[in-house]
Amino acid sequence: MSEVLNITSLSVEFNINGEYYHAVNDVSFHINAGETLGLVGESGCGKSVTSLALVRLLAKSAKISGKALYNGRNLLDLSLEEMHQIRGKQIGMIFQEPMTSLNPVYKIGSQISETLRLHNKISNDEAKRQSLEMLRKVGIARPEEIMEEYPHQLSGGMRQRVMIAIAMINNPQLLIADEPTTALDVTIQAQILDLMRNLSRDFKTSLLLITHDLGVVAEMCDRVAVMYAGQIVEQGLVDDIFFNTNHPYTQGLLNAIPKIDVQNKDRLQPIVGNVPSLTRMPKGCRFATRCPHAMDRCKMESPPLMEIRENHQSRCWLNDAKVV
Amino acid sequence: MVSYIIRRIFGALIVLLGVSIITFLLAYAVPADPARAIVGPHAPEYLVLQIRKQLGLDEPLPIQYIHYLGNILRGNLGTSYVLNQSVTSLIGQRIGATGLLAGLAFVFELIIGIPIGILTALRDRKLTDHVLSTGALIGISLPVFFVGLELMYWVGFRLGWLPIGGTGGILFAILPALTYAITGAAYYARLLKSSMIDVLNQDYIRTAKAKGASPLRVVMRHALRNALIPALTYAGTDVAALLGGVVVIEDIFGYSGVGQLAFQAIGNLDVPLIMGTVLFATVFVVIFNLIVDILYGIVDPRISYS
């Protein structure tokens, strides 16, 4: 299988009061053609920063290093002009905030056709016709009227459908969806996820799905990368992540999901403590202070990402102990 | 939309009524006698009394006001005590000159203010921003008469590019308009800078970038129209300030417009002319505010008039 995206040792540093701190630290992953990779983690773990870094949408003050190969070309080395041609054409993006992601002063139709016209030499009428067709594909009822309406006249779910139409209309090879359903209510969430799954299958688009919701992951993803405090702590096939869970943080996330089928009247088990702040990262394993299995070694040395079975890696000293 | 405009016009009539009462009272609150002002300090008392009777100044104030109002409704703004011409024709003669000056001043303000606002927002806290923002601060702080005299001296006298003063055609309006614009543009620049910085951090700007739009397109198409909305609000109040400024500027440049007329009328205690120019200014401000409110709905589709 060919790789659409290959991220190697991506690091992002932000300047806080004159000093640089890592928000993303040595992150590597790849996405194959037609595959869906879930990037999972709690708020502030660096998953959004990772996605914005690879399309170069972070503020100029952010220091980015590493490689982000898109079809063999390093996105981090491209000129701004080349980047404009890739964004919106080859890489589409959907964001978390459907309520504010559309420009309030332009009609829906013109906002969709803009993406087309920025990248293709086509007539006004043709752009309009294709936009209308795309609105139909994302399941908008009465698309002719919606074309002439403004964002504030649409509900959150409809706006997210419009965002999907904007992101998908140029038939991109890669779609980056950053928490696309977080701001929507549950029934709409399911519809939007269905839509994204069907579209990415029909268009043969690879999907980088950023989420904190393991339910979404289970439903959508082929492979999963779990991030904690700027690092990937566990990566593998979706089944391995759910059924052969290795890293204590992933286990913690799974324990924190409410289950309705188990006759268990116990309380949910939260992960105790908080994510360490950027400016005060522990020297050893970053999860050690919250980990129920933490050993002395964890507080001293940072564990590397270890291969524990084929296509399954975990950043935990417990695996090393088993080997020894 | 139509019903909105009708409601606004009705509201404007009430504003005009209020303004006319206040101006009328203020004109009479001055401890001076218009009749005495007309005949001069050495004229005999019987002449003053005669003039007072002739002008109806011997009647109680409310009656005078009602007479005045009745005349206005018949389209008659009265006759200037001093110039002995009808107020309507006095204003009518000068309305074109003042309109030209005010319009030009407004256009200059936008031409200077908007690019500086955009530029300082894009170069926020960089050298360009510091230089232009300091310039804008100086612009706000400079008094109109100072800017006017400097322009007269340098552009009019030393360079000889434009007439120093007087009236006639657009060339004569450029320096007075620029005088107002240099002090006024700074407000637009500062307002636009802050709203531009705010807009550039919005999610829809990130969407525009994600579509592959160039930085120029992101700023000019996606950000500017949103950022102009607060500046448009300011334009409504600016026009009132503009008319006030025009009074002083016309006097500085010897530009015979409505402002100069008002200035002279106040000096002469020429009550009908004071009333006429103030009401003219009020009508102007009311109309312009209505235009701004309608433009609002065109720029920002979220605003509805129902």
Q: What is the CATH number of the domain that holds B126?
A: 1.10.3720.10
Q: Are residues B67 and B105 in the same domain?
A: no
Q: Are residues B239 and B111 in the same domain?
A: yes
Instruction: Please indicate whether, in this complex, the C-beta atoms of B209 and A102 are within 8 angstroms of each other.
Output: no
B159: pLDDT strictly greater than 70: yes
List the single residue in B207, B212, B300 with the smallest CB-CB distance to A102.
Answer: B207
Q: Report pLDDT for A110.
A: 95
Which token pair is A232?
Answer: 């990937």
Query: pLDDT digits over A214-270, tens only?
Result: 989 999 999 999 999 999 999 999 999 999 999 999 999 998 887 776 666 667 788
Q: Which chain B residues contact residue A93 at CB under 8 A?
A: 207, 210
pTM of this prediction? 0.84
Q: Are residues B190 and B47 in the same domain?
A: no
Mean pLDDT of A126-147: 93
Q: Which residue has the tokens 């990262």?
A: A281
Mean pLDDT of B161-174: 87
A146: pLDDT strictly greater than 60: yes
CA–CA distances in Å: residue B268 to residues B27, B68, B126, B272: 11, 19, 53, 11
Mean pLDDT of B54-81: 86
Q: Are residues B39 and B133 in the same domain?
A: no
Do the domain assignments include residue B234? yes
Cα–Cα distance for residue pair B209/B230, rounded to 1 Å? 24
Starting at the edge strand found earlier in the chain, the sheet holding A36-40 runs A91-94, A174-178, A206-211, A36-40, A223-228, A231-237, A312-314, A306-309
Cβ-count burial of B240 within 10 angstroms (0-12 exposed, 13-18 middle, 19+ buried)?
middle
**Chain B nearest-CA residue for A113:** B211
Calculate the average pLDDT of chain A: 91
Mean pLDDT of B184-193: 92
Confidence of residue A167 (pLDDT cuts 50, 70, 90): very high
Cβ-count burial of B164 within 10 angstroms (0-12 exposed, 13-18 middle, 19+ buried)?
middle
Q: Are A210 and A39 in contact (CB under 8 A)?
A: yes
Q: Are residues B62 and B134 in the same domain?
A: no
Chain A residues in contact with chain B using a Cβ-Cβ cutoff of 8 Å:
55, 57, 80, 84-89, 92-93, 95, 97, 100-105, 114-115, 118-119, 150, 152, 163, 166-167
Q: Which residue has the tokens 């107020």?
A: B87
Short-list B23, B6, B9, CA closest to B269: B23
Which token pair is B18?
Answer: 């209020």
Q: Is some CB atom of chain A closer than 8 A to the CB atom of B208?
A: yes
Which token pair is A186?
Answer: 């549950």
B200: pLDDT strictly greater than 60: yes
Q: Are residues B191 and B226 in the same domain?
A: yes
B19: pLDDT strictly greater than 60: yes
Instruction: Please indicate whether, in this complex, the C-beta atoms of B206 and A95 are within 8 angstroms of each other.
Output: yes
Cα–Cα distance for residue pair A97/A177, rounded to 1 Å? 11
Q: Is some CB atom of chain A closer than 8 A to the CB atom of B198?
A: no
Q: Report pLDDT for A70.
A: 95
Cβ-Cβ contacts under 8 Å for B182 (sequence gap 6 or more): B112, B139, B142, B147
Short-list A315, A308, A25, A38, CA closest to A197: A38
CA–CA distances in Å: residue B247 to residues B144, B176, B257: 11, 11, 8
Instruction: Please indicate whether, in this complex, the C-beta atoms of B212 and A167 are within 8 angstroms of each other.
Output: no
Do the domain assignments include residue B84? no
Instruction: Please indicate whether, in this complex, the C-beta atoms of A101 and B204 are within 8 angstroms of each other.
Output: yes
Instruction: Please indicate whether, in this complex, the C-beta atoms of B301 and A152 are within 8 angstroms of each other.
Output: yes
Instruction: Please indicate whether, in this complex, the C-beta atoms of B212 and A87 are within 8 angstroms of each other.
Output: yes
Query: pLDDT digits over A267-324, tens only?
Result: 778 888 888 888 888 889 999 999 999 888 999 889 999 999 999 999 999 888 654 4
Cβ-Cβ contacts under 8 Å for A151 (sequence gap 6 or more): A102, A103, A104, A108, A111, A159, A162
Q: Are A279 and A21 in contact (CB under 8 A)?
A: yes
Q: Report pLDDT for A114.
A: 95
Q: What share of chain B has pLDDT > 90, as a percent?
A: 34
Short-list B258, B255, B254, CA closest to B281: B258
Say whether B116 sits in a helix, a strand or coil.
helix
B247: pLDDT strictly greater than 70: yes
Q: Are A178 and A48 in contact (CB under 8 A)?
A: yes
Q: Are residues B227 and B118 in the same domain?
A: yes
Q: Report pLDDT for A324.
A: 45
Query: pLDDT digits over A59-94, tens only?
Result: 888 999 999 999 999 999 999 999 999 999 999 999
Tell me which residue range forms the domain holding B269. 94-299
Strands A19-32 and A206-211: unpaired
Which residue blocks in chain B are alpha helix, DSSP H?
A: 2-29, 34-39, 45-55, 61-73, 87-122, 127-141, 144-151, 169-200, 203-210, 215-217, 224-253, 258-268, 271-299
Cα–Cα distance for residue pair A303/A281, rounded to 1 Å? 14
List the single residue in B212, B214, B226 with the smallest CB-CB distance to A104.
Answer: B226
- Residue count (chain A): 324
Short-list A222, A251, A248, A224, CA closest to A235: A224
Q: Are residues B50 and B123 in the same domain?
A: no
Q: Are residues B238 and B148 in the same domain?
A: yes
Q: DSSP per residue over B16-70, as a string?
A: HHHHHHHHHHHHHHSSS-HHHHHH-TTS-HHHHHHHHHHHTTTS-HHHHHHHHHH
- Which of B17, B43, B73 is a domain's end point? B73
Query: pLDDT digits over A46-60, tens only?
Result: 999 999 999 999 988
Instruction: Please indicate whether, in this complex, the C-beta atoms of B207 and A95 are within 8 angstroms of each other.
Output: yes
B37: pLDDT strictly greater than 80: no
CA–CA distances in Å: residue B122 to residues A116, B130, B220: 27, 12, 12
Mean pLDDT of B127-150: 89
Query: pLDDT digits over B84-98, tens only?
Result: 899 999 999 999 999
Q: Are residues B105 and B7 in the same domain?
A: no
Q: Are residues B149 and B30 in the same domain?
A: no
Do the domain assignments include residue B235? yes
Q: Are residues B225 and B284 in the same domain?
A: yes
Q: Report pLDDT for B175.
A: 93
- Residue count (chain B): 306
**Chain B nearest-CA residue for A112:** B211
Strands A36-40 and A223-228: parallel
Q: What domain count does chain B have?
A: 2
Q: Which residue has the tokens 């690091």?
A: A11
CATH of A3-90+170-237, one of 3.40.50.300, 3.40.50.10860, 3.40.50.10480, 1.20.1090.10: 3.40.50.300
